[in-house]
Amino acid sequence: MAYSELELYEDRELLASDIVAALEVEYPVAQAAAWDSVGLLVGDARMPVSGVIVALDPSLAAIAAAVERGANVVVSHHPVFIDPPEHFDITHAAFSWPARVVHAAISSGVALVNAHTNLDVSAKARALWGERLELEDIGPLPLANAAREFPHLSGDYPSFGELWHCEMPRTLNALAAEITSLTATDVRVYGDGEALVDTVATATGSATARIPEALLAKADVLIGGEFRYHDALGATESGLNLIELGHDVSELPLLPLLTEALHVRTSLDMVQIHEIQTDPIWNGISTSTLAGGN
Protein backbone atom coordinates (compact mmCIF):
# COMPACT_ATOMS: atom_id res chain seq x y z
CA MET A 1 0.00 0.00 0.00
CA ALA A 2 1.57 3.26 -1.14
CA TYR A 3 0.75 6.38 0.78
CA SER A 4 1.97 9.85 1.66
CA GLU A 5 2.74 10.68 5.27
CA LEU A 6 1.19 14.10 4.77
CA GLU A 7 -1.98 12.53 3.42
CA LEU A 8 -2.12 10.23 6.42
CA TYR A 9 -1.33 12.52 9.29
CA GLU A 10 -1.77 16.17 8.34
CA ASP A 11 -5.43 16.42 9.27
CA ARG A 12 -6.13 13.46 11.54
CA GLU A 13 -4.87 11.28 14.36
CA LEU A 14 -2.81 8.13 13.95
CA LEU A 15 -4.93 5.00 13.45
CA ALA A 16 -4.16 1.30 13.84
CA SER A 17 -4.45 1.02 10.06
CA ASP A 18 -1.51 3.43 9.76
CA ILE A 19 0.63 1.06 11.85
CA VAL A 20 -0.31 -1.79 9.51
CA ALA A 21 0.42 0.39 6.45
CA ALA A 22 3.83 1.41 7.82
CA LEU A 23 4.86 -2.23 8.22
CA GLU A 24 3.49 -3.04 4.77
CA VAL A 25 5.88 -0.54 3.17
CA GLU A 26 8.95 -2.13 4.75
CA TYR A 27 7.76 -5.75 5.03
CA PRO A 28 5.01 -6.45 2.47
CA VAL A 29 2.44 -9.08 3.39
CA ALA A 30 2.91 -10.59 -0.09
CA GLN A 31 6.41 -11.63 1.00
CA ALA A 32 5.05 -13.76 3.87
CA ALA A 33 4.96 -17.54 3.52
CA ALA A 34 1.61 -18.94 2.41
CA TRP A 35 1.06 -20.75 5.73
CA ASP A 36 1.71 -17.66 7.87
CA SER A 37 -0.63 -15.20 9.64
CA VAL A 38 0.58 -11.60 9.48
CA GLY A 39 -0.75 -8.07 9.83
CA LEU A 40 -3.64 -7.02 12.07
CA LEU A 41 -4.91 -10.26 13.65
CA VAL A 42 -6.87 -8.75 16.57
CA GLY A 43 -8.43 -5.29 16.82
CA ASP A 44 -10.08 -2.50 14.87
CA ALA A 45 -8.07 -0.87 12.08
CA ARG A 46 -10.07 2.34 12.61
CA MET A 47 -8.98 2.68 16.25
CA PRO A 48 -6.96 5.80 17.19
CA VAL A 49 -3.50 4.84 18.50
CA SER A 50 -2.58 5.98 22.02
CA GLY A 51 0.78 4.19 22.13
CA VAL A 52 2.68 1.20 20.75
CA ILE A 53 4.49 -1.72 22.40
CA VAL A 54 7.06 -3.52 20.23
CA ALA A 55 7.72 -7.07 21.44
CA LEU A 56 8.94 -10.43 20.18
CA ASP A 57 5.68 -12.11 21.16
CA PRO A 58 2.09 -10.87 21.59
CA SER A 59 2.00 -12.37 25.06
CA LEU A 60 -0.19 -11.72 28.10
CA ALA A 61 2.80 -9.86 29.54
CA ALA A 62 3.07 -7.64 26.45
CA ILE A 63 -0.63 -6.77 26.66
CA ALA A 64 -0.25 -5.97 30.37
CA ALA A 65 2.75 -3.75 29.56
CA ALA A 66 0.66 -1.94 26.94
CA VAL A 67 -2.14 -1.28 29.41
CA GLU A 68 0.33 -0.12 32.05
CA ARG A 69 1.88 2.40 29.65
CA GLY A 70 -1.37 3.61 28.15
CA ALA A 71 -0.64 1.98 24.78
CA ASN A 72 -3.29 0.18 22.75
CA VAL A 73 -1.26 -1.52 19.98
CA VAL A 74 1.21 -4.39 20.34
CA VAL A 75 3.47 -4.80 17.30
CA SER A 76 5.26 -8.13 17.48
CA HIS A 77 7.40 -10.38 15.33
CA HIS A 78 5.51 -13.58 16.12
CA PRO A 79 1.77 -13.84 15.46
CA VAL A 80 -0.59 -14.75 18.29
CA PHE A 81 -1.57 -17.77 16.19
CA ILE A 82 -0.80 -19.36 12.84
CA ASP A 83 -4.15 -21.15 12.71
CA PRO A 84 -7.02 -19.47 14.62
CA PRO A 85 -8.02 -21.15 17.91
CA GLU A 86 -10.97 -23.55 17.71
CA HIS A 87 -12.64 -21.80 20.65
CA PHE A 88 -12.17 -18.85 23.01
CA ASP A 89 -13.29 -20.49 26.26
CA ILE A 90 -10.72 -19.35 28.84
CA THR A 91 -12.40 -20.86 31.90
CA HIS A 92 -9.43 -23.14 32.53
CA ALA A 93 -5.75 -22.48 31.92
CA ALA A 94 -5.55 -25.85 30.16
CA PHE A 95 -7.33 -24.27 27.21
CA SER A 96 -5.21 -22.84 24.43
CA TRP A 97 -2.85 -19.98 25.20
CA PRO A 98 -3.62 -18.11 21.94
CA ALA A 99 -7.31 -17.94 22.93
CA ARG A 100 -6.38 -16.43 26.30
CA VAL A 101 -4.18 -13.83 24.60
CA VAL A 102 -6.88 -12.91 22.09
CA HIS A 103 -9.43 -12.61 24.90
CA ALA A 104 -7.07 -10.42 26.95
CA ALA A 105 -6.32 -8.18 23.96
CA ILE A 106 -9.99 -7.62 23.14
CA SER A 107 -10.90 -7.12 26.80
CA SER A 108 -8.14 -4.53 27.16
CA GLY A 109 -8.82 -2.77 23.86
CA VAL A 110 -5.35 -3.65 22.56
CA ALA A 111 -4.78 -4.40 18.87
CA LEU A 112 -2.29 -7.13 17.88
CA VAL A 113 -0.23 -6.54 14.73
CA ASN A 114 2.73 -8.60 13.54
CA ALA A 115 5.34 -8.94 10.81
CA HIS A 116 6.53 -12.55 10.84
CA THR A 117 7.92 -14.34 7.79
CA ASN A 118 7.55 -11.14 5.76
CA LEU A 119 10.14 -9.68 8.15
CA ASP A 120 12.27 -12.86 8.23
CA VAL A 121 12.87 -12.77 4.47
CA SER A 122 13.78 -9.07 4.34
CA ALA A 123 17.36 -8.11 3.49
CA LYS A 124 17.67 -6.26 6.81
CA ALA A 125 16.65 -9.30 8.86
CA ARG A 126 18.83 -11.71 6.88
CA ALA A 127 21.86 -9.45 7.36
CA LEU A 128 21.61 -9.15 11.14
CA TRP A 129 23.81 -11.98 12.37
CA GLY A 130 26.42 -11.86 9.63
CA GLU A 131 26.90 -8.14 10.16
CA ARG A 132 27.10 -8.56 13.94
CA LEU A 133 29.87 -11.12 13.40
CA GLU A 134 31.57 -8.88 10.78
CA LEU A 135 31.37 -11.50 8.03
CA GLU A 136 31.58 -10.85 4.28
CA ASP A 137 28.20 -11.18 2.57
CA ILE A 138 27.96 -13.70 -0.29
CA GLY A 139 24.20 -13.45 -0.88
CA PRO A 140 20.84 -15.03 -0.02
CA LEU A 141 20.69 -18.72 0.90
CA PRO A 142 18.60 -20.28 -1.92
CA LEU A 143 15.33 -21.86 -0.79
CA ALA A 144 15.05 -25.62 -1.23
CA ASN A 145 11.23 -25.61 -1.46
CA ALA A 146 10.46 -22.13 -2.74
CA ALA A 147 7.26 -23.01 -4.59
CA ARG A 148 5.87 -24.77 -1.51
CA GLU A 149 6.63 -21.86 0.83
CA PHE A 150 5.51 -19.15 -1.61
CA PRO A 151 3.01 -20.67 -4.08
CA HIS A 152 1.48 -17.20 -4.55
CA LEU A 153 4.74 -15.90 -6.05
CA SER A 154 6.07 -16.77 -9.49
CA GLY A 155 9.86 -16.74 -9.48
CA ASP A 156 12.12 -14.25 -7.73
CA TYR A 157 11.44 -16.04 -4.46
CA PRO A 158 12.59 -14.52 -1.16
CA SER A 159 15.00 -16.33 1.16
CA PHE A 160 14.98 -17.08 4.88
CA GLY A 161 18.76 -17.19 5.19
CA GLU A 162 22.00 -15.57 4.12
CA LEU A 163 25.39 -16.95 3.12
CA TRP A 164 28.64 -15.42 4.43
CA HIS A 165 32.40 -15.75 4.09
CA CYS A 166 34.89 -15.53 6.96
CA GLU A 167 37.78 -13.38 5.78
CA MET A 168 39.80 -14.92 8.60
CA PRO A 169 38.67 -18.55 9.08
CA ARG A 170 38.22 -19.57 12.70
CA THR A 171 37.29 -22.74 14.55
CA LEU A 172 33.68 -23.62 15.23
CA ASN A 173 34.27 -23.17 18.96
CA ALA A 174 35.85 -19.74 18.41
CA LEU A 175 32.85 -18.62 16.35
CA ALA A 176 30.49 -19.89 19.04
CA ALA A 177 32.48 -17.98 21.67
CA GLU A 178 32.10 -14.77 19.63
CA ILE A 179 28.35 -15.25 19.54
CA THR A 180 28.23 -15.92 23.28
CA SER A 181 30.07 -12.66 23.91
CA LEU A 182 27.50 -10.82 21.78
CA THR A 183 24.42 -12.36 23.34
CA ALA A 184 25.59 -12.99 26.92
CA THR A 185 23.81 -16.36 26.70
CA ASP A 186 25.00 -19.90 26.14
CA VAL A 187 24.75 -21.45 22.68
CA ARG A 188 24.56 -25.11 21.67
CA VAL A 189 27.20 -26.33 19.21
CA TYR A 190 26.69 -29.41 17.04
CA GLY A 191 29.80 -30.75 15.32
CA ASP A 192 33.57 -30.71 15.61
CA GLY A 193 34.52 -27.71 17.72
CA GLU A 194 38.01 -27.61 16.21
CA ALA A 195 36.79 -27.63 12.60
CA LEU A 196 37.77 -24.54 10.61
CA VAL A 197 34.86 -22.39 9.47
CA ASP A 198 35.09 -20.50 6.17
CA THR A 199 31.50 -20.35 4.85
CA VAL A 200 28.65 -19.52 7.21
CA ALA A 201 24.87 -19.70 6.68
CA THR A 202 22.64 -17.69 9.02
CA ALA A 203 18.92 -17.77 9.75
CA THR A 204 16.73 -16.69 12.65
CA GLY A 205 14.07 -18.58 14.57
CA SER A 206 13.22 -22.16 13.61
CA ALA A 207 16.02 -23.05 11.22
CA THR A 208 15.63 -26.80 10.71
CA ALA A 209 14.29 -26.23 7.19
CA ARG A 210 17.49 -24.34 6.35
CA ILE A 211 19.68 -27.42 6.91
CA PRO A 212 19.33 -28.88 3.38
CA GLU A 213 19.79 -25.40 1.93
CA ALA A 214 23.02 -24.89 3.87
CA LEU A 215 24.24 -28.34 2.78
CA LEU A 216 23.50 -27.56 -0.87
CA ALA A 217 25.37 -24.26 -0.48
CA LYS A 218 28.35 -26.17 1.00
CA ALA A 219 28.36 -24.06 4.15
CA ASP A 220 30.63 -25.16 6.98
CA VAL A 221 28.17 -24.07 9.66
CA LEU A 222 24.55 -22.96 9.95
CA ILE A 223 23.74 -20.47 12.70
CA GLY A 224 20.05 -20.50 13.65
CA GLY A 225 17.56 -20.09 16.45
CA GLU A 226 16.67 -23.74 17.01
CA PHE A 227 16.96 -27.14 15.34
CA ARG A 228 15.04 -30.39 15.76
CA TYR A 229 17.32 -32.95 17.36
CA HIS A 230 17.28 -35.70 14.74
CA ASP A 231 17.63 -33.18 11.93
CA ALA A 232 20.63 -31.73 13.76
CA LEU A 233 22.09 -35.23 14.08
CA GLY A 234 21.61 -35.79 10.36
CA ALA A 235 23.20 -32.43 9.57
CA THR A 236 26.38 -33.14 11.53
CA GLU A 237 26.70 -36.61 10.01
CA SER A 238 26.32 -35.00 6.58
CA GLY A 239 29.19 -32.57 7.25
CA LEU A 240 27.28 -29.48 8.39
CA ASN A 241 28.04 -27.98 11.79
CA LEU A 242 25.31 -26.09 13.65
CA ILE A 243 25.23 -23.30 16.23
CA GLU A 244 21.88 -23.02 18.01
CA LEU A 245 21.28 -19.61 19.59
CA GLY A 246 17.83 -20.14 21.05
CA HIS A 247 14.74 -19.09 19.13
CA ASP A 248 14.18 -15.94 21.17
CA VAL A 249 17.84 -14.92 21.31
CA SER A 250 18.16 -15.22 17.54
CA GLU A 251 15.19 -12.92 16.90
CA LEU A 252 15.37 -10.25 19.60
CA PRO A 253 17.62 -8.15 17.28
CA LEU A 254 14.63 -7.96 14.90
CA LEU A 255 12.72 -5.68 17.27
CA PRO A 256 14.72 -2.53 16.41
CA LEU A 257 13.80 -3.16 12.76
CA LEU A 258 10.10 -3.02 13.64
CA THR A 259 10.66 0.08 15.76
CA GLU A 260 12.61 1.73 12.95
CA ALA A 261 9.87 1.00 10.41
CA LEU A 262 7.28 2.65 12.65
CA HIS A 263 9.45 5.70 13.29
CA VAL A 264 10.30 6.17 9.62
CA ARG A 265 6.85 5.54 8.18
CA THR A 266 4.54 7.05 10.80
CA SER A 267 4.26 10.29 12.71
CA LEU A 268 5.16 8.70 16.03
CA ASP A 269 5.74 12.10 17.59
CA MET A 270 2.00 11.85 18.13
CA VAL A 271 2.23 8.70 20.32
CA GLN A 272 4.70 6.91 22.58
CA ILE A 273 6.50 3.76 21.42
CA HIS A 274 8.06 1.30 23.86
CA GLU A 275 10.34 -1.57 22.81
CA ILE A 276 10.07 -4.49 25.22
CA GLN A 277 13.19 -6.69 25.36
CA THR A 278 12.09 -9.68 27.43
CA ASP A 279 14.53 -12.07 29.07
CA PRO A 280 14.58 -15.72 27.89
CA ILE A 281 11.84 -17.79 29.52
CA TRP A 282 14.36 -20.56 30.30
CA ASN A 283 17.29 -20.74 32.69
CA GLY A 284 20.57 -22.61 32.15
CA ILE A 285 21.69 -24.64 35.17
CA SER A 286 25.23 -26.05 35.08
CA THR A 287 25.98 -29.52 36.48
CA SER A 288 28.59 -27.97 38.79
CA THR A 289 25.85 -25.84 40.35
CA LEU A 290 23.66 -28.90 40.88
CA ALA A 291 26.52 -30.90 42.37
CA GLY A 292 27.44 -28.12 44.79
CA GLY A 293 24.42 -28.76 46.94
CA ASN A 294 24.18 -25.19 48.23
Give the confidence band of 86 by pLDDT, cuts at 50, 70, 90. Answer: confident
Q: Where are the domains of the chain?
A: 5-31+39-114+251-275, 123-245
Average pLDDT over residues 23-52: 96
Give the confidence band of 74 by pLDDT, cuts at 50, 70, 90. Answer: very high
User: In this structure, are residues 114 and 76 in contact, taking their beta carbons and an 8 Å threshold?
Assistant: yes
Percent of the chain with pLDDT over 90: 74
Of residues 292 and 31, more confidence is placed in 31
3-state secondary structure labels for all residues of the chain: CCCCHHHHHCCCCCEHHHHHHHHHHHCCHHHCCCCCCCEEEECCCCCECCEEEEECCCCHHHHHHHHHHCCCEEEECCCCCCCCCCCCCCCCCCCCHHHHHHHHHHHHCCEEEECCHHHHCCHHHHHHHHHHCCCEEEEEECCCCHHHHCCCCCCCCCCCEEEEEEEEEEEHHHHHHHHHHHHCCCCEEECCCCCEEEEEEEECCECHHHHHHHHHCCCCEEEECECCHHHHHHHHHCCCEEEECCHHHHHHHHHHHHHHHHHHHCCHHHCEEEECCCCCCCCCCCHHHHHHCC
Model pLDDT, residue 287: 42
> pLDDT digits over 118-168, tens only?
999 999 999 999 999 999 999 999 998 888 899 999 878 999 999 999 999
Of residues 91 and 212, more confidence is placed in 212
Is CATH 3.40.1390.30 the right assignment for the domain spanning 123-245?
A: yes
Give the confidence band of 268 by pLDDT, cuts at 50, 70, 90. Answer: low
Q: Assess whether the region 5-31+39-114+251-275 and the region 123-245 belong to the same CATH fold.
A: yes
Question: Does pTM top 0.75 for this prediction?
Answer: yes
Question: Looking at the predicted structure, is the pLDDT value of residue 291 above 70?
Answer: no
Architecture of domain 5-31+39-114+251-275: 3-Layer(aba) Sandwich (3.40)
Mean pLDDT taken over the chain: 88
Question: Looking at the predicted structure, is the pLDDT value of residue 293 above 70?
Answer: no
Give the confidence band of 269 by pLDDT, cuts at 50, 70, 90. Answer: low
